[in-house]
Structure formats: structure tokens, C-alpha cells
Amino acid sequence: MATCPQGHPSGADDYCDVCGTQMAGTPQPHPQPQPSSQPQPQSQAQAHAQPPAGAESCPICQTPRAGQFCEVCGHDYSGAAPVQVPVTGAQWEAVTAADRTYYEKVIAEGGPDADAVAFPPYCPERSFALHGEQVRIGRRSRARNLAPEIDLTGPPEDPGVSHLHAVLLSQPDGSWLVVDPGSSNGTQVNGRPLKVNVPVRVGPGDRIHLGAWTVIIIREGTP
């Protein structure tokens, strides 16, 4: 049994069991190193993240410059103003009407039942806004559960228009295509007949003829 400096017998060899005095010969704890005032070397990742002395950095996010545009925030070092993409508020529309010239051409060509088809004495223009993925053109049919977006049922009703005569298809760039899925009397765009299931691009000013006297004019309307 060890004896402490005060003369007490102690069963512990570090501090006296009786008075708590530190036993002789107990190793002293090593002092903790104090933070050095000298700068510590940077890791490779830290050195890479900071620009070299004199290198230009982004004034917005402080990222080192690697080109004309900042890789993080997109800042333009040239100082050029961002390009503004013009946004048009126009909306395309399809205007339906009766075309006397087209009617006379159809009659002259002697189409089916041409003698029985009369040109309507009055046919007001009707406008249909073009929106969505597709716009169907034709005459509604309860039996087929068909209600086309451009309904030419009338009055007056063009007997040469099929229930599903043509379809306008929207494109990602905002333009439209027209396709004839196989109508009875065909479809023309600016006087040229469409081939079945072959889409043709249309735009403002184009004229789509179908039936015995119907014309659909594509226009750029107001929002």
C-alpha cells in the first residue's frame, strides 16, 4: 500500500484515498498545444476552390472565372445585357365562311350530287380559337359520339363535309399542321389537294377548302 506525502496510507497510487493529495511520482498531463498564429497549409480541395492571387472571380457569387459566363450563377463578364425573347400575345383562330368561287369550281367539276347542292343564301362568318393539342373539323354525330371543335353542322350545313373531315395539330413551336384522315370529298390548302394522312403546315392567311363551299381561313387574332 502506498503512502501519500501527508503520511496517509492509500490504496490508490494516483491520489490519496484519505486526503486526496496527489501521490508522488504520478505523471503530469501533457500540456495541450496552443493554436499557432502561423497560417496552416490548405488542403488540395481548399486550394482549388480559391482563385489564385490576381485571378478574377464572379462579382455575384465569388466563383473563380472560367470563361465569359459564370459556371454557377451565369453572370456575363462582358457586361452585355441579357437577350430578351419577344413574347407575342396573339392567338391563332380559324374563321369559317362560304366561298362562292370554290363552290362554282366544285359544281363545274361535276362532283357527286353537284346538281343537288345549292350555295347558301346567307352564311355568317364564325371564329374558332385554336388551342390544345388538336382541333377537329367536321359535323357532330350523336351516333358516333363525335363533337368536333370546329363544328360545321350549321345551319347552313355543307353536305360535302364529313363528320370527321380534317384535323388541325399543334406543334411545339406554336405552329399548326392540318391533316385529312380520309374524308369523303377531300381537303385543299390554298388550292392544293391534301393527301390522306399527310400533314401540311398552315399559318395566318392560309385558306382551307372542304365540302361543297366551306372555307376556313387561318388568322392571327387578339388574346
Where along the chain do its domains lie? 91-221
Query: Residue 92: which of 217, 209, 191 has the closest Cα?
Result: 217
Strand order in the sheet with 126-129: 126-129, 91-98, 214-221, 207-210, 187-189, 192-193
The predicted-structure confidence for 136-184, as pLDDT tens digits, reads as follows 999 999 888 899 999 999 899 999 999 999 999 999 999 999 999 999 9
The predicted-structure confidence for 46-84, as pLDDT tens digits, reads as follows 444 455 556 788 776 677 877 765 555 555 566 644 333
Domain 91-221 coded CATH 2.60.200.20 = yes
Helix (H) or strand (E) holding 82: none
Strand partners, 201: 177
Cα distances (Å, whole numbers) of residue 86 to 74, 89, 90, 106, 121: 21, 10, 12, 43, 44
Burial of 101 (C-beta count, 10 Å sphere; 0-12/13-18/19+): exposed
The predicted-structure confidence for 189-210, as pLDDT tens digits, reads as follows 999 999 999 999 999 999 999 9
